Amino acid sequence: MHEYSIAYDIFATSKRAAVENSATHIKKVCISVGEMTMVNPEQVIFLFETMCEDEDEPLFKDCSIEAKTVPVKTKCSCGYEGSERFVCPDCGSLPEVIEGREIVVTNIEIEVEDE
């Protein structure tokens, strides 16, 4: 179950960013999940939300998470660019996946106290 370690990494990244920016609260975390990650986004969301419920982490009280699916983009040495993952429709070679294999924290909404 690598979804747990992914959810934990998102949690830790969010916490680190909040602390570095003197946040009082993390409102929302946005992530992009590539189609080829072999990860179930619903499980990642569930696990992240479970971590946010920990009463020892007041920064995350009522924090939400939003996941966007990133489609696969490929390119081939013959010039083909598209979404074919396994065989280039133009030349029959294996195209290079250039997008869709990653999980990225794209945005963290935080609250900071006015000074």
Q: Is 91 annotated as a binding residue?
A: yes
Q: Is residue 83 part of a domain?
A: no
Structure tokens at 52: 């946010």
Q: Where are the beta strands (DSSP E) in 1-115?
A: 23-34, 64-70, 73-75, 81-82, 96-99, 103-112
Query: For each successive 10 residues of the chain (115 residues), what is the average pLDDT?
Result: 90 96 96 94 95 88 95 96 94 95 96 81
Q: Report if pTM > 0.95.
A: no
21 within 8 A of 27, measured Cβ to Cβ: no
Domain boundaries, position 21: 2-71+99-112
Q: Is residue 25 part of a domain?
A: yes
CATH number at residue 16: 3.30.2320.50
Q: Is residue 92 part of a domain?
A: no
- Alpha carbon 94 to chain centroid distance? 26
Q: Is residue 64 part of a domain?
A: yes
Q: Is 88 annotated as a binding residue?
A: yes
